């Protein structure tokens, strides 16, 4: 049985070799890469929502070099702590699947039997995710209309993606865990010093959400050195700064062959209240 449900009628989906199908015979083809499309036309706000081809390629290239390995390892450790022996996991806004796949393999290596799915609104980036791990289910879908049954998920991951709290509450089991990753105050500070005359720190706050109980906040801090202009540009292109940096700042960055910068994340851990 798939972790997904039919976005048309809400019925359970069965996965065959190349198709998902529900009891009412609604069917959804699998792409050649291995993801499916569960985003109804009325939930699309553009012809190609989410990360475009360039951003998707930049994320794949940068993350594949393991620069953000400290964050992946922290998420794997938390997933081991907050899941039962045979868990169902969902990564919303999963991107190219770097963290999704890392968590899945960490659980397998620990002797657990995970079922895992990742959703993202960008079909371009899911092409890369689906190539990473065939045992994970991947679907183009909106975080605000997750094609997932009520109270079916043991652990939900949201990493730099839209915060759809009502949907997260709906799909999590009572007592299920929610890992919410945000950038800390000085994340990529040295990169920002190149891009901007007067960079400012990210806001850090502890926000309670109705229906969830705070467990903890896990800090992840490290320093990385990018060894090529290609890696520097890939990092730049996968950040929001790519779209709002003055031309002069982008030109300064383009002249660099190496860059050492801090990476700093906060993982907010919640449990759904029973």
Strand, coil or helix: what is 166?
helix
Is 215 domain-assigned? yes
- In this predicted structure, the answer to whether residue 46 has a pLDDT above a threshold of 80 is no
> What's the rounded mean pLDDT across residues 179-196?
97
Is 183 domain-assigned? yes
In terms of residues, how long is the chain? 274
| pLDDT classification of 181: cutoffs 50, 70, 90 | very high
pLDDT in the model for residue 51: 61
| pLDDT classification of 274: cutoffs 50, 70, 90 | confident
Strand, coil or helix: what is 36?
strand
Is 18 domain-assigned? no
Q: Helix, strand, coil: what percent of the chain each, to 5?
A: 30, 30, 40
Stronger pLDDT, 67 or 44, i.e. the higher one: 67
CATH code for position 251: 3.40.50.150
pLDDT in the model for residue 50: 52
Q: Is the pTM of this model over 0.75?
A: yes
- Please state, for a pLDDT cut of 90, what percent of the chain lies above it: 90
- In this predicted structure, the answer to whether residue 47 has a pLDDT above a threshold of 80 is no
- How many Cα atoms occupy the beta-carbon half-sphere of 14 within 13 Å? 6
Residues spanned by the domain of 177? 34-272
Is 180 domain-assigned? yes
pLDDT in the model for residue 219: 98
pLDDT tens-place string over residues 56-110: 889 999 999 999 999 999 999 999 999 999 999 999 999 999 999 999 999 999 9
Residue 163 CB burial class (10 angstroms; 0-12, 13-18, ≥19) = middle
Residue 51: closest CA among 175, 234, 215, 265: 234
CB environment 78-88: b (16+ within 10 A), e (fewer): bbeebbeeebb
Pairing of strands 115-120, 137-140: parallel
pLDDT in the model for residue 153: 98
Is 20 domain-assigned? no
- Please state, for a pLDDT cut of 70, what percent of the chain lies above it: 96
Please tell me the total count of domains within the chain.
1
pLDDT in the model for residue 16: 86
pLDDT tens-place string over residues 232-254: 999 999 998 998 899 999 999 99
Structural contact between residues 170 and 178, judged by C-beta atoms closer than 8 angstroms: no
Euclidean distance between CA atoms 13 and 6, whole angstroms: 6
Is 260 domain-assigned? yes
Is 64 domain-assigned? yes
| pLDDT classification of 42: cutoffs 50, 70, 90 | low
Rounded-to-10 torsion of CA 23, 29, 34, 36: -70
Considering the chain, what is the average pLDDT of its residues?
Answer: 94
pLDDT in the model for residue 52: 73
Is 231 domain-assigned? yes
pLDDT tens-place string over residues 13-32: 999 889 999 999 999 999 99
């Amino acid at each position: 049985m798939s972790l997904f449900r039919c976005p048309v009628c809400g019925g359970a989906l069965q996965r065959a070799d190349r198709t998902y199908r529900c009891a009412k015979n609604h069917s959804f083809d699998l792409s050649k890469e291995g993801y499916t499309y569960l985003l109804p036309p009325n939930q699309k706000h553009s012809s190609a929502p989410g990360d475009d081809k360039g951003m998707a390629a930049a994320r794949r290239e940068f993350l594949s070099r393991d620069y953000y390995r400290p964050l992946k390892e922290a998420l794997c450790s938390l997933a081991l702590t907050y899941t039962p022996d045979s868990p169902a996991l969902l990564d919303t806004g999963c991107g190219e699947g770097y963290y999704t796949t890392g968590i899945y393999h960490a659980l397998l290596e620990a002797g657990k039997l995970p079922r895992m799915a990742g959703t993202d609104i960008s079909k371009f980036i899911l092409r890369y995710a689906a190539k990473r791990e065939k045992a994970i289910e991947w679907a183009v879908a909106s975080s605000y209309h997750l094609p997932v049954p009520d109270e079916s998920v043991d652990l939900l991951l949201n990493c730099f993606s839209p915060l759809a709290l009502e949907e997260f509450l709906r799909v999590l089991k009572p007592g299920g865990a929610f890992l919410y990753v945000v950038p800390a105050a000085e994340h990529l500070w040295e990169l920002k010093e190149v891009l901007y005359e007067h960079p400012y720190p990210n806001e850090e706050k502890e926000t309670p959400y109705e229906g969830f109980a705070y467990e903890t906040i896990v800090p992840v801090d490290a320093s990385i050195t990018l060894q090529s202009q290609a890696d520097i540009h890939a990092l730049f292109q996968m950040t929001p700064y790519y779209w709002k940096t003055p031309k002069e700042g982008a030109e300064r960055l383009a002249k660099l062959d190496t860059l050492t910068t801090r990476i700093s994340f906060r993982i907010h851990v919640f449990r759904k209240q029973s």
